[in-house]
Chain A
Amino acid sequence: MNRYSMFVSCLKTGASFGIVFGLLATLCDALFMLTAETYITSSYPISIFIFNITFWSGAAFIMSLFQWFFLRQADPSPS
């Protein structure tokens, strides 16, 4: 596996982790809407969906960069 395909593989893994965890965090945040005494705005579901997907994808992107740096050092073969 050359370095480019390794980089793409790391990014794909990060994207999948970020999107899945963002959806899960959205689901957990949305549980607050179930309580009757909590007031939420109509834009809250869309806001938490966009925020969580963006935030956790961004965090996973940074983690995928760390993974790529680590794997690049572990595999000294030239690209």
Chain B
Amino acid sequence: MYWSVVFFLAPLLCLYGVLGRVRYVTPAFNSSHATNFFQGYDSHLSLVWVLFLCAVVLTALVKGKILRSTHGISFLPEMITAVFLFHVCTNLPKYSYVIKAYHKGMSYFQTELLSQDFYLKCVYVLLVMVALMGYWFFFSEMCFC
């Protein structure tokens, strides 16, 4: 089951994360945009969080803290958490209800307590913590063995 993380879970999640940014990969073939290829790539650190999740799962499996079989369905909680991280980290400014909540809050307080950029960073940290801690405390014990 350790090999399932190394050979299947981590590569599949990395492939999913890299292919999700395929529009950033395309300009690399254009020489005028070649210098911007790695600039800003994964600036939202979604790949880092997902690799951290894989490392946590691997360590927990080795120490026997969680129980998994070799089948893919057994790793469904990890996959759902990783896909959630990819979607949230990358697309957070595109979620209209997040921006609407900011404007609603600012109009309620009648003042600009915090900038929109800082608000998005706070929401980002909150959602990443909810995803990782929620996985660990609620879903890591789940076993579809």
| Assembly CA distance A77 to B17 (angstroms) | 38
CB–CB B79/A24 < 8 A: yes
| Assembly CA distance A53 to B74 (angstroms) | 18
The contact string, 1 if C-beta is below 8 Å from chain A, for chain B 71-86, is 1110110011001000
The interface centre, meaning the residue of A25, A63, A64 with most chain B CB atoms within 10 A of its CB, is A63
Name the B residues within 8 Å of A25 (CB-CB): 16, 83
CB of A21 closer than 8 Å to a CB of B: yes
| Assembly CA distance A67 to B83 (angstroms) | 24
Q: Is the interface of A mostly helix, strand, loop or mixed?
A: helix
CB–CB A63/B80 < 8 A: no
CB of B3 closer than 8 Å to a CB of A: yes
Name the B residues within 8 Å of A28 (CB-CB): 83, 87
The residue in chain B whose Cβ has the minimal distance to the Cβ of A28 is B83
| Assembly CA distance A24 to B15 (angstroms) | 14
The residue in chain A whose Cβ has the minimal distance to the Cβ of B1 is A13
Interface residues of B in 1-41 (CB under 8 A from A): 3-4, 7-9, 11-12, 15-16
The residue in chain B whose Cβ has the minimal distance to the Cβ of A27 is B83
CB–CB A59/B3 < 8 A: no
CB–CB A17/B12 < 8 A: yes
B94 CB to closest chain A CB (Å) equals: 10
Name the B residues within 8 Å of A24 (CB-CB): 76, 79-80, 83
CB–CB A17/B87 < 8 A: no
Name the A residues within 8 Å of B72 (CB-CB): 13, 16-21, 60
| Assembly CA distance A12 to B73 (angstroms) | 12
B6 CB to closest chain A CB (Å) equals: 8
CB–CB B7/A20 < 8 A: no
Name the A residues within 8 Å of B16 (CB-CB): 21, 25
CB–CB A67/B87 < 8 A: no
Closest 10 CB pairs of A and B: A17-B72, A16-B72, A20-B72, A67-B7, A17-B8, A16-B71, A13-B70, A21-B12, A20-B73, A63-B7
Q: List 7 A-B contacts (CB under 8 A).
A: A13-B71, A17-B4, A20-B76, A21-B12, A25-B83, A63-B11, A70-B7
